[in-house]
Structures are given as C-alpha cells and as structure tokens.
Structure 1
Amino acid sequence: MSEASKITLKKRPYQYQAANGKYYTTFIVQGWKENGKWQRKQFKSEKDADVFIADKTLELNNDQAAKRSRQTTLTEEQLDEAEKAFKALGSTYNLSEVVSFFLDNHRPPEFALPLTEAIEIYLEDQAETLRPRTLIQKRSSLKLFYEHVGDVPVHECTQQKVLSFLKALRAKDGISKASRKTWNNYRNDLNHFFAWSGEKDMSTNRPWLFVNPVEGVRIFTAKQVAEQRKPIATTDPKQVAALFTHLMEDCPELVKYYALAYFAGIRPSGEMKALDQYAEEDGLIDLKTRTINITAKISKTKEERKVHISENLAQWLTAFAEYPIIPKNFDRMNKAVRAKFKLQHDETRHSFISYHVAVHRSAGDAALQAGNSESIVKKHYLRHSPAEDGNEFFSLIPCSKTNSAIQSNLRLDNFRYRAI
C-alpha cells in the first residue's frame, strides 16, 4: 500500500482563550504530507473543516490514482521503495547510476576471499616472473596494507581504505609524510594486486572483486616527484681513498664489493647479489678481456650490458681475488661501513657515473656502462664533477706495502673505458 493511501485525515476541536477573556473553539485538520512534511490546518467552523477534509481526500485519491495508472510489474511495496529512493536522491543522481555504483562497489563476488589468502596466492603467481627482490618489495607493501585495513575480504577494499593507507605512510623518521615517490611505489604495488584480483581465472576462482579500488587514486607526475628528489650524492676521491684504506685494514672481505660498486657502477642492491651468485659459475668477471658481463637475469632493467674493467679496478679485483663479492656477515659489516662514512643511497653508483662522465665527456658511453638511458645521464651527471676529481678517482689502487689505497701514476688514457 502506498504512503498516500495510508493517510487518514483527522478533525479535532481546539479551545483557546482570547485576549478579551472569552473562549473560542476552532477545528484542526491533520494527517497528510506535502513535500515530505506532515501538514495541518485550522478552521473557525466545523463545516469548513468538513468541506476541506472532503476536498483534500478527493485530491489525494485522484493523485494516487494518477500514480498507479501506469502499467508496471512492480508490487505496491516495490513502488513505495522506488518513490522513497527518488525522493532521497533528488536531482543530484539518477537511480540507475546509484544502483550501478552500489553493485560495482558492494556486490560480493561469487567467491569471496580474505585479504591475507589473496595476497599469498598473488605472490605465488607472480614468483614465476618477478625477481626475488621485487617480490620481497611487493610482499612488504601488501603486508603493510593488510595491517592497516585488517583481514577483510578483497571485494571490501574500497578506494577510501586505499587512500587512508597511502596518507598514513611516513618517512624514515616516522613523523614526516612519505615522499611522493614512496606514495607512487605503494600505489603501483596495490594497483597491480587489485587489477590481478579482478581478472577472470578459474584456477584461483577469480575475480575476487569487480572494481579496482586504486583506480582514481592520484599518482604524482615525474615532475612532481623530481621536486622532492635530493641532489645526487657522490663521494669525494680522497674520501674514497680513506674508505678503501679502512676496508683493507679492518674488513678486507668487503673490498671486492666496494670496488665493483665504485669503479664499475654495479647496482649495490639486486645486481651485486646476483653477480655474486652467478659470477664464478658463468665466468661473468673476465680479467683477460677486461669485461664484466651483466646478463639479463642479473640486470635490473632485464637488458644485458657489458662493463669494461678499468686498470685500477683490475688491480683491486686481482689483489682481493680470494674473497667473494658478498661475504658472510655482509649486512652487519656493510651497515657499519656505510654509517662510518655516511654513505647515501646509491652513492657508489652515482660516483661511478659522475666521474666517468667527468673524465671521458661521453654521456652515451656512461649510459652503456651503467645501464641507464643517455637522457638520464645528461640530466643528472653531466658537468656534475670536474675532470680532475674523475682522474683522481679512477687512479686509486691498492698498495700492499702500506696496506692502503693510493693514487697511481698511470695515465687514464692507458685504460680508457670502451663501450661494448
């Protein structure tokens, strides 16, 4: 039954005392709605009240008949619900838009899965194509998200939950907001996970959701990220000499690692560990041809490159050939060295590229050696360091007599880098 047909108009007398002290009786009619609000009207005579009741009842009945004159398969109750929905929506949205949005964001899929289980299935699937380091990073990102929102079903992860998580990210000091680059990195990890979760796959009973909650979440442009980027850090050649002297005296196990990091520009994170794993087996470091072969399975960019071994690097590798690239207790020793010399992120690699460009004035050759694009090298490293510093840097060699790093008298022309 509709709302209008439920209305019963009521008449009741009301007596009040006027200012002159006399008592008067009026009649109040109530019991109908206009624009969603209950109405009532006061009459001086009972006859006028009765006439109004008759007219208003006829009006309401005619209005009700007009509303029900259209053919429909809906029941009275369903029509009432529809009317209420239209009144609540007003002119802001139409009913179809609201229903579509609700179904996309709140309809549970046929197979609902808790977030923790979904993450494990996703990582297992990605392990076939991703590098171990990338997989570790994705696991870390998704774990933080799970800890923030709880073990909710995947389809209940909304855009609001994603935004709440990203806005809660903090810098290393635990207080400042995370950088725009960090925001983008976490956003990308979440986006890939939810996009994968929405794909159809019978073996994993996907999709687990119908709308990717990360879509529409802002992503900072390269220019916006660059605005927060710190200037690249390079190590002064004299400081490099002091660092290698310290290594020779206190922890010679790390000499080969730092020699490859500084004088070959090998990425100190993923590439160095992979090179240590495959170097001896595959003969990747060849002192006879003066070549380090960074294969596709080692390279961060998954593109093979060959790095020329300079004369000073050859001497470091020869003098400390007995040691592996990554020794036991590496993390503990490396952390102590980095703290002692206050090394920043990728400072060894930045030093290699910067001094290489300073000596040879070739952004293209430096890009080939380091596995970067030429545009990146020109943008960040061209004219970053003077040629004198580059000459001093690539002249540092080990001295067994003094057990220290010294500057050789060899001319750099004798071991100029070659693009291979």
Structure 2
Amino acid sequence: MSKKKKAFPKVVRIGQTRATIYKTPSNGSEAFTVAWYEGSARKRKMFADLEAAEQHANAMVNNLSQGEAKIVRLSGAELLAYVRGKDAVAEFGIALDSAAIEYRDAKRLLRGGSLLEAARYYAANRLQEIPRKTVTEVYEEMLATKRAEGLSERYLEDLKARLGKFAGDFQVQIAAISGSEIKAWLQGLKRQEIKSKGTNGERKVAEPISNRTRNNFRLAVQTLFAYAKAQKYLAKNWNEMEAVPLWKNKEEEVEIFTAEEFSTLLGVAESKLVPFLVIGAFAGLRSAEIERLDWRKVNLVTGYITVDASIAKTNSRRLVPIAPNLKLWLMKYAKASGPVVEIPNLSNAVGRMVKATGPVDPQDPSKRLAPAVQWRHNALRHSFCSYRLAEVKSAAQVALEAGNSPQMIFKHYRELVTDAEAKKWFSIAPGEESDLIYLKPAEVSKDVAVHNAGSVAA
C-alpha cells in the first residue's frame, strides 16, 4: 500500500503560537522552509530535509509559547518595562528578546563597557562604510597589485611564502585581528619539522625560527595591513601593529673562507657551479642576485657587472668592478646571454661539492670521509667584503660595490684579514684544464689600477 503524501504547508501549533513548514525545492533538490513570527517580525529558515524542519518548527513554537505564558503573568513594573522595551525596538522590526540577546553579546565583547560609546566611535569613524574583507581577499588583491606595479618576482615569492601562511592561519575578517593575536602568531612560528633521534627513538622536532626571520615575517604582515589601510579596509586610526614589537637580533658571526679553502672548493666544483662561486667570492653579489643574473649584464670589455634594481635586494642599481682574477674565470664560462646559474637545484650542487672535498675512505673507496671544507652561510659574500676592504682600505667603496652601507661594512668586516691574505684571495685564478694557480703580483697589477678604482655609482 502506497504511503500517503504529507500535505503542505504543514502547521505546527501550540495555543496561539504557530510555525508553518513550506515545501520549497531549490536547484532541483528537495528543501523545506520554516516560517514563524517573533513579535511583528516574520522569520524564516531553510532545511534540506523534512525531519530537521519539523524539529526546528516544534522547538520554535515551544519556546515562543513559553515566552507568551511568561508575558501573560507579567504585572506592575515588569509589564511597564516590557511595554517600554517593545516600543523602543519597534522601529527596527525586531523582537524584544532578540534585542536583549544582541545587547548581552555586545556588552560581553566590550567587557562591560558602554555600548553607546562604542556605537558613537563606530559611527564617528564611519566603520559601517568599511568593506568586509577577509585576510585572504586582501592578501590576494595586494599580490596582484604589486605584480601589476612591476615588483620583482623574488619579492612577490617572499610575500607569498610569508603571507600565505598568515592568511591560512587567520581565515577571518582582516579588521577583526588584534595586535596581540599577531604578536602571538609571530612568537609561535617554528621552522619546518625535522627528524631527530633520541633515547625514545625517532621523533619530529620543530624548532623556533630565528628573530631575524621573525622580523621578516613581521615586515610582511605590516605590509599587508598598510595596504589594507590604504585601501580603506581598516579604520584610518587602526594601529594594532604598535602592539607588535621588533625582536632583538643576535649578532651574526661573520664566517669567511681562506684562500686555501676556497681553492679546494673550486677544485672539486661542477663546471656549471663555478660562475656562481667566483662571482660571489670575487664580486660580492648576493646569492639571490647571482641566481637572477643574466650573462648580458656581465661585460668583460668594460670590466663591470651590472646589478639591476629588479634583481638587487636594495632595489637600487649598481655597477660592480670585475677583478683581474675574476675576469680570467669568467672568460672560461661567459655567454652572450642567458642565466648565469643554470643548475636546477643549487643547494644540492653545493652539497655535492662539499662532500667531494672529503678524502676517500680507505676502508671503502666508494665512500668519502668527512669533508675537508664545510660550507658556511653567506661566506662567499662575507669573504669578498672582508678581503676587498683589506685591499682598498675604503668602507665607502666596498659598500658601493656590495650594495650595503659603509657603516655595516666597517662594523662587520674591518680588520678580519690581512693585506697579504687579501692579495692571495684575489690572485686565485684558473690554470690549464682543471688546475688552479695563484697569479703573481705582476700579473694581478696589469688590471689592478682599474679594479681598485672602485665601483661606479649608478
């Protein structure tokens, strides 16, 4: 026997209170809408199945009927308060209990503060006119804007790496984020998890990031909120970043290579890695600058490498003189055009080079012992600045060539090496085939006047 279909609309009633269930299909799917009245305001809510709609209708009728019973028993001052309250919210078309609930929630948010004062501040700053934007929406809009403005891909990739994580962790309206939340997020940042073996077996360890890295994240976040403020997605007096401090950086130890160590590295390096090594060691370009450098910017005739603003960390163009020994190296590898670094994974190539400096294991000729030379962070650039300062005795000149400030050069690189060590460093040159030689003073001096003339401000 077929089941009798339920007629619609369905009415759920208790006393004078009722809710009506309508069948309201949507986009080809079955759906049901519950409608009821709270005071003079008609309310509606949609459900995907009938059972949920019926449960909601019964709950609303039950709650509202209980409220009516309480109202019936009001007398004296309570009845007068009810009538006044109902009249006060009548112009907004909401029920008295809805107004009371909203008031309660607002007072909680203000921690007991004046709701009227908060509303006056909201109106005075025209906060009701501020578009409601999520962090992700502002982040994606800012990236598109900066790309259209022609900012470097390296800068955009850095923003994506830092702000992509921030947007992922804050999936809320951007105006709702407080300075204390930003501070806590920055403080909690950790490095990528690494495996560590302990007494209880292998486990994953996530170490805190350095304060330098934390400050870089802070700068990216500040850039995002500055953009949001400029687009009027935040109040004009928004200043939550004032609650986010700059973390104190530990003084970075300057590590350099000796001439002997660097010669050892060059002796085992893959040919495609050599331009990266010698330009960093003898011209002082940053690793990221070399990775983005094109051979068209390496002019062996004029004797200068052009570091365009688009690849420079400081966004400022500079010309770097090519040292005599560097010229000999580049003559072996230079091309008319194309990227200077053609290795897909630079880090792996450096790792192979370092491993190759280790002596062959006498017990197993297929393996090598510990490397004779360890790779040091930023040591190519540190070495150039140290030896170059000892050679020319001018922090201002080295600063121009390295794209740094004279104060930083003087502070970090003064008196780290001797004149003799500097001469030896800038005499490392390629010999026949894969051999290395040290240029004699007379050979170096052929171009030394040009080299020591310094960089050309651009």
Normalising by the smaller structure, the TM-score range is: 0.5 to 0.7
What amino acid is aligned across from residue 427 of structure 2 in structure 1?
A: S
Could you tell me how far 1:400 is from its partner in structure 2? 1.7
Residues 199-210 of structure 1 mapped to structure 2, 5 A cutoff = 199-200=230-231, 206-207=232-233
Deviation at 1:234, TM superposition (A): 0.9
Query: 1: CA distance between counterparts of 2:381 and 2:114?
Result: 58
Could you say which residue in structure 2 is the equivalent of 1:33? none
The within-5 A match list for 1:128-143 is: 128-143=149-164
Out of 226, 242, 247, which is 1:216 matched to? 242
Task: Give the structure 2 partner of residue 417 of structure 1.
Answer: 452
Match of 1:10 in 2: none
Q: 2:217 aligns with which of 172, 186, 191?
A: 186
Deviations for 1:160-204, whole angstroms, at most 9, x for unmatched residues?
Answer: 43123112112466543322222221111111112211334xxxx
Q: Is the 8 A contact 2:282 2:326 kept in 1?
A: yes
More deviation in 318-327 or 187-196? 318-327
TM-score under structure 2 length normalisation: 0.62
Kept after mapping to 2: 8 A contact 1:109/1:209: no
The answer to whether the Cα contact below 8 Å between 1:191 and 1:214 also exists between their aligned partners in 2 is no
TM-score by length of 1: 0.67
Deviates more, 1:94-103 or 1:363-372: 94-103
Counterpart of 2:452, as a letter, is: Y
Q: 1:379 aligns with which of 407, 411, 416?
A: 411
Identify if the C-alpha distance between structure 1 residues 210 and 289 changes in structure 2 by more than 3 Å, giving closer, same or farther.
closer
Report whether the alignment pairs 1:243 with 2:278: no
Does the 8 Å contact 1:367/1:373 carry over to 2?
Answer: yes
Aligned to 2:133: 113
Could you tell me which amino acid in structure 1 is paired with residue 453 of structure 2? R
Whole-angstrom distance in 2 between the partners of 1:91 and 1:124: 39
Distance between the aligned counterparts of 2:432 and 2:186, measured in 1? 53
**Partner of residue 298, structure 2:** 285
1:18 is matched with: none
Cα RMSD (Å) of the superposition? 4.0
Pair member with larger Rg:
1
Amino acid corresponding to residue 406 of structure 2 in structure 1:
E
147, 150, 168: which is aligned to 1:147?
A: 168
- Which residue number in structure 2 is paired with residue 343 of structure 1? 375
- The match for 1:268 among 275, 287, 295 is 287
Q: Structure 2 CA distance, aligned partners of 1:115 and 1:142?
A: 9
- The 2-side partners of 1:292 and 1:91 are apart by 62
Kindly indicate whether the alpha-carbon contact (under 8 Å) linking 1:266 and 1:349 is maintained by their aligned counterparts in 2.
yes
- d(CA) in 2 for partners of 1:84, 1:257: 65
What are the equivalent positions in structure 2 for 1:34-53 lying under 5 Å apart? none
Contact 1:263 1:394 in 2 (8 A): yes
- Structure 2: give runs of 5+ residues left out of the alignment: 1-76, 78-86, 90-95, 195-204, 356-372
Superimposed CA distance per residue, residues 26-45 of structure 1 (whole angstroms, 9 cap, x where no aligned partner): xxxxxxxxxxxxxxxxxxxx
What do residues 301-338 of structure 1 show as CA deviations (whole Å, max 9, x unaligned)?
Answer: 22222211111001000122359511142436434257
Matches of 1:338 and 1:237, distance apart in 2: 16
Deviation per CA, 1:130-183: give whole Å up to 9, x if none.
22111111111111112323x223233333431231121124665433222222
Instruction: Read off the aligned partner of 1:385 and give its amino acid letter.
Output: V
Residue 384 of structure 2 corresponds to which residue in structure 1? 352
SS across alignment from 2:293: helix
Counterpart in the other structure of 1:325: 340
Gaps of 5+ in 1: 1-60, 62-72, 201-205
Q: Secondary structure at the match of 1:293?
A: strand
Distance 1:243 1:101 in 2: 65
* Distance across 1 between alignment mates of 2:392 and 2:180: 52
Mapped partners of 2:110, 2:283: distance in 1 = 68
Write the distance in 1 (CA, Å) between the matches of 2:413 and 2:114: 56
Q: Is the 8 A contact 1:395 1:409 kept in 2?
A: yes
Q: Distance in 1 between matches of 2:124 and 2:178?
A: 11
Distance 1:162-1:218 versus aligned 2 partners, 3 A rule: closer
